[in-house]
Amino acid sequence: MTLASSSTSDITYNFAYLDEQTKRMIRRALLKAIAVPGYQVPFGSREMPLARGWGTGGIQITAAIIGADDVLKVIDQGADDTTNAVSIRRFFARVAGVATTEATEEATIIQTRHRIPEAPLSADQVLVYQVPQPEPLRKLEPRETETRKMHGYGEYGLMQVRLYEDIARFGHIATTYDYPALVNGRYVMAPTPIPKFDNPKMDHMPALQLFGAGREKRIYAVPPYTTVRSLDFDDHPFQVQRWSRPCELCGAGDSYLDEVVIDDQGSRMFVCSDTDYCEGRRAEGHVGTQLEQSAGQRLTGGSS
């Protein structure tokens, strides 16, 4: 790892902001997390020059693993252009002098909140998740001593009770975000607030997946090509969200859609939440119904 600050970065900070000792501490936690897939490793979370809730857990992981030749992409709700994503990208451009990108395939590190990119990730990429609440059992069992034992002994009946309650109340498993999954057949994990639509992407993903919870001081990981199985019932199998129509901008029928308001009259349309994916498809000539109708009129897929 380089200690030198590159010419474009701010010389008052160490490379990637954190001091080398802190980075080593975080890397040790990361190695342990990778060795025990899905296990929540405690770490000495540091203050970052960004408000908590802005993903300080993810930022600390990125800071600990990033090198001068990495290319960083940051997404928030699937979009590269939200305030949160832009500030984190700028932060690393300044303190590490790294190149940034919006193109999923160009990135070596992708820091995310809420989404996994639609484009399949490869073995030379790392996905860093910003996690608000790492403990999937917390809502049902407030005692940390007890949840630690439940994980330790693989006592996951209570997790199933949470899904039972969903079906009892709504007739189906209504959990759509942060849907619990069993990692490597051993630890149940909270996959951050990603939609359950993205859960199947975590299974046997070639890229390394790292999860950081700054406030809760926990790091966990899913190593490449690891089994990630979403919990369910035999008679209520896990299902992802489906939409009745494709993306109205690019016509994609396989992506996660956001409903966005497009004019002052409150008209709405469904578009890809992954802006890079949507733009890439349009650049390739794919067209959705909205673009067909208003040919020539420029529309962007930016959301939220």
- Which residues contact other proteins (rule: CB under 8 A)? 140, 149, 152-153, 155, 157-158, 160-161, 164-165, 167-169, 232-236
274-293 burial: b if 16+ Cβ within 10 Å, else e:
bbbbbbbbbeeebebebbee
- Point out which residues bind Zn ion (CB under 5 A): 247, 249-250, 252, 272, 278
Kind plus residue range of the DSSP H or E element containing 112: strand 109-113
Distance CA 29, CA 66 (A): 16
- The option from other proteins, Zn ion, none interacting with 140 (CB < 5 to 8 A, set by class) reads other proteins
Whether residue 198 contacts residue 256, with contact meaning beta carbons closer than 8 Å, is answered with yes
Minimum CB separation of residue 126 from other proteins in Å reads 34
Q: Which is nearer to Zn ion, 37 or 117 (CB)?
A: 117
- The option from Zn ion, other proteins, none interacting with 278 (CB < 5 to 8 A, set by class) reads Zn ion
- The option from other proteins, Zn ion, none interacting with 13 (CB < 5 to 8 A, set by class) reads none
Contacts of 57 (CB under 8 A, 6+ apart): 45, 130, 131, 211, 212, 213, 214, 215, 216, 218, 219
Q: Which is nearer to other proteins, 87 or 175 (CB)?
A: 175
Q: Which is nearer to other proteins, 47 or 234 (CB)?
A: 234
Please pick, among 78, 212, 250, 280, the residue that the annotation labels catalytic.
250
Distance CA 169, CA 196 (A): 19
- The DSSP secondary-structure symbol of 13 reads S
The answer to whether residue 58 is catalytic is no
Distance of CA 204 to the CA centre of its chain: 16
- The option from other proteins, Zn ion, none interacting with 247 (CB < 5 to 8 A, set by class) reads Zn ion
Minimum CB separation of residue 198 from Zn ion in Å reads 16
The answer to whether residue 278 is catalytic is yes
Structure tokens given for 66? 């990033």
The answer to whether residue 78 is catalytic is no
- The option from Zn ion, other proteins, none interacting with 254 (CB < 5 to 8 A, set by class) reads none
Q: Which is nearer to other proteins, 148 or 204 (CB)?
A: 148
The answer to whether residue 301 is catalytic is no
The answer to whether residue 67 is catalytic is no
Q: Which is nearer to Zn ion, 208 or 247 (CB)?
A: 247
Q: What is the DSSP string of 35-56?
A: HSTT--EE--PPP-SS-TTS-H
Please pick, among 55, 78, 278, 280, the residue that the annotation labels catalytic.
278
Residue 276: name the closest of 110, 49, 68 by CA: 110
Please pick, among 247, 251, 288, 301, the residue that the annotation labels catalytic.
247
Q: Which is nearer to other proteins, 114 or 151 (CB)?
A: 151
Minimum CB separation of residue 201 from Zn ion in Å reads 17
- The option from other proteins, Zn ion, none interacting with 298 (CB < 5 to 8 A, set by class) reads none
Please pick, among 55, 251, 272, 280, the residue that the annotation labels catalytic.
272
Residue 218: name the closest of 63, 40, 53 by CA: 40
Structure tokens given for 20? 């080398």
Distance CA 164, CA 268 (A): 34
The residues carrying an active-site annotation are 38, 247, 250, 272, 278
